[in-house]
Structure 1
Amino acid sequence: MIPELGHYALVLALFVAFVQAGPPLVGAATRNAAWMSVAGPAAIAQMLLVLVAYGALTWAHVVSDFSVQNVVQNSHSLKPMLYKVSGVWGNHEGSMVLWIVMLAVFGAAVAAFGRNLPPTLKARVLAVQGLIGIGFLLFILTTSNPFIRVVPAPLDGNDLNPLLQDPGLAFHPPFLYAGYVGFSMAFSFAVAALIEGRVDPAWARWVRPWTLAAWSTLTMGIALGSWWAYYELGWGGWWYWDPVENASFMPWLAGTALLHSAIVVEKRDALKSWTILLAIVTFSLSLMGTFLVRSGILTSVHAFAVDPARGAFILVLLAIATGGSLLLYSLRAPALKAGGLFAPVSREGALVLNNLLLSTATATVFIGTLYPLFLDILKAGKVSVGPPFFNATFVPIAIPLVAAMVVGPFLSWKRADLGAALTRLWVAGVVVVVCVAVTAYVTAGGGPLLALVGVALAAWAIVGSLVEFAERIRLFRVPLADSWTRAVHLPRSAWGMTIAHAFLGVSIMGMTATSAWQSERIDSMRPGQTASLAGYDFRFDSVGPVAGENYKADRAIFTVTKDGQPVATLTPERRSYPVTRMTTTESAIHTTLFSDLYIALGDPTQNGTAWIVRIYHHPMVPWIWIGGVGMMLGGLVSLTDRRFRIGAPERRRAAKAGLVPPAQPAE
C-alpha cells in the first residue's frame, strides 16, 4: 500500500507542476495577481508530494519490501541499515526521485523565502522550475518508475553494488545532486529575466545566493567522490579525468564563472548578457551530466547501466531546455542595456579575465570528454583521451587563472593601477620564492619543473588571499583592536572569498605534491616478508578470513615502522560479496596532515602462498580534501551575508520614495 501511495504522490506532483508552470506564466504576462499567487503554494505542494514519494521508497528499502522491483534489484535483507537507506539513491530510479526532491526543495525555498522578489519575477521563476519538474516527473513516471511491483515477490534481493556500500558513496550523491539541481535556480532566474526583458543589480543580488548554495554543495560532492575513488578502488589515485568525473567538473567550472560574473552585474551593472548565458550553460552542463550517467553510452564505475531509451528521453529534455532557453536568449539578449564602462585593468577586467579562462577550461574539458564519444557513436573509430591530454591542456589554463585570482581583489572598480596592486602583494611574492626554494632543496631537484610552478601557485593563492584580508582590516597598520572591529564588521562575502581562495591554494598544494612526489611499490609478498618505501618498512604479518554482515573477506595485517620505531598497524581487506559475486578492495590508510601511507591487498598468487600488495606513499594528499571542504565552507560563509537576506538596492530605494511598500526581510 505504501509504494502505491508513493506512486500516486508522484502523479499528483506532476499535476501540481502543471499548475505551478501554467497559470503563473499567464498571470505574469497579464499582471493578474491571483494567477501569479498560485506559484508559491503549488511549489510547496509539489515539494511535499515528492517528499511523500521519496519517503515511501525509503520505507520500502528499509523494511526490505521485496515485492517492489527497485528493492529487489538494489537491496538485500542482510545489507547494513546505512546502505539500505543510501541504496534508495544508489540506483537509477531512486536517484531520479532524489533529483526531483532537490528540484522541488529549491522551488519551495524560493516560494517561502523569496518575499523580496517582484511578483512577476517570482511567478516566472517558479513557473520555469515547474516546467523543469514536469519534464523530470514525466521521465520518472514513464521510463523509471521506482514503485513497480514484482509478482510473485522473491524471498530476497540482488543486493546493492558493493562499490556503493561505502560511507563516501552514501553521502556523495546528495551533495552532488544538490549542486546539479541547485543550478536550475540560476537557470530559472535567467529565463525569467529574459522573459521580462530586464537584468539589473537587483536581479544579480537575488540569483547569487542560489548559485552559491549550488556551487558549495557541488564542491563538496566532487570532493567526496574523489575521496571515495581514492580509498575504495585500490588504485591510489584521486582523479582520473573519467567522463563522469568530468560531467560534474564542467558545471562546477561554469558555476564558478557565473558566481564571479554576477558580482560584476551587481556592482557595476555590466556583463548582464554574459551572465544570463552562463546561467543557461551551467544548468545545461548539469543536464548533460545526467544524460551521460544514464544514457548507457559510458562504461564507468560512476555510471548507471540503463537502456538507451532513458538516455533518449533525457536527451530530449536537454534539447528542449537548452535549445529553448538559447532561442529566447538570442531574441531577448540584444535588447538588454549595456552597463557601465571600465578599463581593462580594473576589478571588472580581472573578473572578465577570470570568466574567459574558466570558460576556456570548461570548453577544453567538454571537448576532451565528448569528442571520443561522438566518434564512437558515428563509428569513426575510437580515440583514447585521458589524463595526458587533460593535464597538457587544462593545467596551462589554470596557471594564469590562479595567478590572476589573487591580484583581482587588489584592483579598484572602473580603473586600477596594476603596479600598485602587485606592490601590495610583496609579502606573498617573498613567501612564494621561499616555498619554491625550500621545495627544490628538500626534493633535491626531483620531480618535474611544473611541480615547482604548482607549489608557487599554491603559496601565491594561500598567502595572497590572507594578505588581501589583512589589507581590508588594516592589520599592523592600526591597533589590533581596531583591526578586530573591522574584521567583525566585514561583509560575510569578504570572509567567504578569502576562505574559498585560500583553501583552493591548499588543494593545489595537495594535488601538486602527491602527483609529483608520490612513490609506489607493487610486490608479491608472503607473510613474514618486509617491503620498504619512502623510508618506511611494511612487514606483512598475517592474512586470514573475516566475516561481515553481507560479505566475506581476507584481511591482512601489516606493521609499519620507520627507523625501527612503530608507526601504524594497517589492515587492508579483499572482500567477496556472495549475492552479487563481486570482489572489492578495501584499502588501509594511515594518514597524517602531511602524507598518507596506503596499502591495498590484491589477488593471491596461483599457489596461494603469496599476495599481490600495492603500497603507496602520498605526500600531502589530505590537503586535497581539506581544501575542498574549506572551499565549501567559504561558499557557505558567503551565503550568510546579510545582503542576501534583505531587499535589493533598487527596491529599498523605491520603498523610501514611497513607490512600493517596503518588503519584510526574508528569514
Structure 2
Amino acid sequence: MFDLYGDLSPQLTAAPEFGELALIMALVVAALQTLIPLWGVKRGHGLLMAYARPLAAAQSMFLLLSLFMLGWCFVHDDFSVAYVASNSNTALPTPYKISAVWGAHEGSLLLWVTLLGCWGLAVALFSRSLPLPMLARVLGIMGLVSCGFILFTLETSNPFARNLPSIPTEGADLNPLLQDFGLIVHPPTLYMGYVGLCVAFAFAIAALMGGRLDAAWARWSRPWTTAAWIFLTIGIALGSWWAYYELGWGGWWFWDPVENASLMPWLVSTALLHSLAVTEKRGLFKSWTVLLAIFAFSLSLLGTFLVRSGVLTSVHAFASDPERGVFVLALLGICVGGSLLLYAIKAPTVASVGRYEWISRESFLLLNNVLLVVAAFAILLGTLYPLLVDFLGNGKISVGAVWFNTMFVPISMILAIATAAGAIARWKADSFGRLFTMLWLAAILAVVVAVAAPFVMASSINLKVVMGIGLAAWLIVGSLLDVWRKARGQLSRIGGLGLSYLGMIIAHIGVGVTIVGVTMVANYSQEESVRMAPGESHTLGDYRFVFERAGHYEGPNYISDITRFSVYDGDQLINTLEPEKRRYTARGSIMTEAAIDVGLFRDLYVSMGEPLDNGAWGMRLQVKPFMRWVWLGAIFMAIGGLLAMLDKRYRQRRSEVSGGELPV
C-alpha cells in the first residue's frame, strides 16, 4: 500500500506524504473558507456566502484524512517518520499506538486542528436556522483560526517529517506515563472543550461584525457554548482522575500550571454561559457577554502557548522549542488583539438597554460572572507571575497550593452562596423578604448537616468541614426545594418543568457534590508510608492491609515487580489489591501503578515505593473518603449541561421561537 520507494526499505510507504498533502490541502481550503464567505457578506452575494458550508466540510475531511494517515504510520510501525520513531516501538500495544498519535507535541497539535475542523463541520451541519450572513461570518472566522494553526503545524511542528536516509529499526517508545487509558480519552475530550470555545468566539465576533447583539444571537450561541463547556468539564475531570491513579501520589489536583491552563477557560466559559442567559432573556450584558467569549477562547490559546512554548516545566507540558512558543504567541496576539480592537470599535454601538434592581436575578448573575472572572484572574496571576519574575532576571520562584487555595476558596464560597439565591430570584426585581421565605428551610437544613458531618466522620468539630459541607448542603437542598415548589409537591410534574431548568438544577447539584468530595478528601484523608515484607500487616483507620506476597510479571513492553495485598474491614475481606512497579524495556523508565479499591464513600489506595532489604518494600497506604464525589459532581454538571443543550427551543427554527424564559 502506498509503496513509492521501491527497495529502499520494506516499511517505507507514501502514507506520510499523503498525510502532509492532506494537511496542505486543509490549509488551502481553510484560507478559501475565510476569504470567500466573508467577501460574499461584504458584497451581499448569497452564492459566495453559501460556499461556507461545503468549504467547512472539505476542510474537516482533509484534516481527518491527515490524522488517519498519521495513525496508520503508528499502527504499521513506520519509523521512517521521526515523530513515530520518537513515540512508539514495535512492542507497544496497539491501543497505545493509536493514542500515541497525540502523545507528544506534533500529533497533539494535529489533533487540535482536526477537532477545530470538526467543530466547523458541526456548525455547518447543525445551524440550518442561522441567517446565511451570520453563518458565513462564523465559519469564515473559524477558517481564519484554522489557517493560523494549520500553518503553525506545517511550519514548526510537522508530524510527517521523515528520518531519511537513516531509518531506525526500532522506535524509542511512548512516554511510560502516557501508556494508559487516560491518554486515549483525556486529551481528545479536553481539546474538544478548548477548541469548542472557538465557536463561541466566532459567534461573538460575527455578531460584532454584523452589529447584531440580540436575543437571537445569544440563542444561537448558547448551545454551542454549552457543548464546549461540557467537553471541558469532562476533560478536566478525566485529567484529575488520570493524575490520581497514575502518578502514584494519590492527589487529584496539584495546581500545576497546565492544570491551571484548563481551569481558567472553564471558569470564564461558565461565566459566559450565565451571561448568555441574561442576554437571551433580558437583552442585557451584551458587551460583557462578547468580552467573556473573547476571554474564554483567549485563555484556551494561552493554555496552548504555555503547554507548547517551553516557558514552564510541567509533567503535562509537550514542547520546549522557543520558535514554537513565538509562533503561538503571535497567533495569540493576532486573535486577542484583533478581536479586542473590533470590540473597542463596535461595542459602544451595541450597548444594552434595560433596567433591573439590586435584588434580582440579573444582579446575582452579574455577581456570579464577576466572581468567576476574578477567580480566573487570580489563577492566571499565580501561574504567570513566576514566569514574569524569571523573565526579568530576578530568579526563580514558585507559587504553590497554599496561595492558590487562599485565593480560590473564599471566592468559591461566596459564589456557592450566591448561586443558590440567584437560581430562585426573579428577573428585574425581587426582595430579601421573598428570598428569605424561599430559602430559610434550606439554610436550616444546611446548618444541621454541616454541624453533624464532622461528628459523624471524626467525632469532633472541624470548622473547615462545617463550612464546606454547609455550602454544599445549601446549594443542593436549595436546588431540590426549588424543584419541589415549582412542581407543587408532585413528582409527576417535574418532567414538565423543562430540560433547560432541570439541567440547571442538576449542574448546580453537581457543584455541591464536588464541594462535598473536595471537603472530605482534604480534611479526612489518611496516609502512611511504611516498610512491609510478605506476611506483615498494617492498620490504617478502620482497615487492615496484609502483604500476602511479591512476585514478577512480564508485560508486552515492560517487566514488573508486583505485590499482593488483602484488605480487611475487621475480619471481613474487602478486596485483593496488586500494585506494581514497572520497568519499561525500551527507555528503562520506572513507573508506579497504584492499586485502588473503589467505593462510593471511600477509596483504599496502595502504591509501591522502593525495594528494601530482605524482600521488604516501602509502601504507601491511603484511605480517601468521598474521593469519587469529586468526579461524580463533574458528571452531574455535564449531564445538566447536556439537558440544557437539548432543550426543544434550541431545536426550533428561528421563525418558530417566541418569547419565554430559558432558566440559567
TM tier relative to shorter chain: over 0.9
How many Å separate the matches in 2 of 1:523 and 1:558? 14
Q: Paired residue for 2:19?
A: 6
Aligned to 2:184: 170
Matched position secondary structure for 2:216:
helix
Residue 582 (structure 1) aligns with? 589
Which residue of the partner structure matches residue 100 of structure 1?
113
- Letter aligned with residue 34 of structure 1: L
CA gap 1:57/1:446 in 2 versus in 1, 3 angstroms? farther
Q: 1:627 aligns with which of 627, 630, 633?
A: 633
Q: Give a deviation string over 1:68-110, Cα, whole Å, max 9, x none.
A: 1111111111111111111111111111111111111111111
**The residue matched to 1:538 in structure 2 has which SS?**
strand
The equivalent residue for 2:11 is: none
Q: Which residue does the alignment assign to 1:658?
A: none
Greater mean alpha carbon deviation, residues 458-467 or residues 136-145: 458-467
Computed over aligned residues only, the root mean square deviation of the Cα atoms, in angstroms, reads 1.4
| Conserved? CA contact 2:454–2:461, under 8 Å | no
Task: Verify: 1:438 aligned to 2:445, yes or no.
Answer: no
Matched, 1:542 2:571: no
Q: Show the 5 A alignment for 1:239-250.
A: 239-250=253-264
Could you report, residue by residue, the CA deviation over 1:582-618 in whole angstroms, capped at 9, with x for unpaired residues? Answer: 111100111111001101101112x463211111110
Alignment deviations for residues 343-396 of structure 1 (CA, whole Å, 9 cap, x no partner): 111111110010011011111111011111111122112222111001111000
Tell me, yes or no, if the aligned pair for 2:213 and 2:286 is still in contact at 8 Å: yes
- Equivalent residue for 2:365, pick from 344, 348, 351: 351
Which one-letter code corresponds to 1:489 in the other structure? G
SS in 2 for 1:115: coil
Separation of aligned partners in 2, 1:159 and 1:567: 37
Amino acid across the alignment from 2:57: I
Q: Tell me the equivalent position of 1:339.
A: 353
**Residue 57 of structure 2: aligned partner:** 44
Taking the TM superposition and a 5 Å limit, the aligned residue runs for 1:538-617 are: 538-605=545-612, 607=613, 609-617=615-623
Deviations 1:5-41 (A, max 9, x none): 1110110110101110012112112211122111111
Matched ranges for 1:457-606 at <5 A: 457-475=471-489, 480=490, 483-484=491-492, 486-605=493-612
Deviations 1:458-508 (A, max 9, x none): 111222111122222122xxxx3xx51x32332211111111110111111
Distance change (3 Å), C-alpha of 1:652 and 1:215: closer
SS of alignment partner, residue 416 of structure 1: coil
Partners of 2:454 and 2:465 within 8 A in 1: no
Match of 2:8 in 1: none
Give a deviation string over 1:397-423, Cα, whole Å, max 9, x none. 000101111111211110012321232
Is the 2:451–2:461 Cα contact (8 Å) retained in structure 1? no
Report the secondary structure of 2:102's partner residue: coil
Supply the AA of the counterpart residue of 1:596: D
| Structure 2 residue 204 is matched with structure 1 residue 190 | yes
Please give the residue correspondences for 1:75-474 in structure 2 after superposition, counting only pairs within 5 Å.
Answer: 75-151=88-164, 152-444=166-458, 446=460, 448-474=462-488
Q: Give the whole-Å Cα distance in 2 for the aligned partners of 1:217 and 1:190.
A: 20
Aligned partners of 1:229 and 1:433: how far apart in 2?
Answer: 34
Distance 1:653 1:413, change over 3 A: closer
Does structure 2 retain, via aligned residues, the 8 Å contact 1:268–1:339? no
CA distance in 2, matches of 1:451, 1:440: 6
Query: Is the Cα contact below 8 Å between 2:262 and 2:300 reproduced in 1?
Result: yes
Greater mean deviation of Cα atoms: 506-515 or 55-64: 55-64
Moved over 3 A (4+): 443-448, 651-654
Q: Which residue identity lines up with residue 647 of structure 2 in the other structure? A: D
Give me the TM-score of the superposition, normalised by structure 2: 0.95
Structure 1-normalised TM-score? Answer: 0.95
Shifted more, 240-249 versus 419-428: the winner is 419-428
CA distance in 2, matches of 1:397, 1:491: 31
- Contact between 1:271 and 1:339, CA under 8 Å: does it hold in 2? no
Q: Does the Cα contact within 8 Å between 1:92 and 1:304 map onto a contact in 2?
A: yes
The answer as to 2:652 corresponding to 1:646 is yes
Q: Does 1:31 align with 2:44?
A: yes
Kindly indicate whether the alpha-carbon contact (under 8 Å) linking 1:135 and 1:317 is maintained by their aligned counterparts in 2.
Answer: yes
Alignment pair present for 1:16 and 2:21: no
Count of residue pairs brought into register by the alignment: 645
Using the aligned pairs only, state the percent identity.
49
Q: Distance in 2 between matches of 1:318 and 1:211?
A: 20
User: In structure 1, what is the Cα distance between the partners aligned to 2:412 and 2:459?
Assistant: 23
Deviation, 1:522, is: 0.6
Whole-angstrom distance in 1 between the partners of 2:507 and 2:328: 34
Cα distance, 1:446 vs structure 2: 4.7
- CA change 1:5–1:407 in 2 (3 A) is same
Classify the secondary structure of the residue corresponding to 2:618: strand
User: What amino acid is the match of 1:523?
Assistant: V
Shift of 1:428: 2.0
Q: Take 2:459 and 2:271, find their aligned partners in 1: how far apart are those partners?
A: 36
Larger displacement relative to structure 2 (386-395 or 466-475): 466-475
Give the Cα–Cα distance (whole angstroms) in 1 for the partners of residues 19 and 292 of structure 2.
Answer: 36
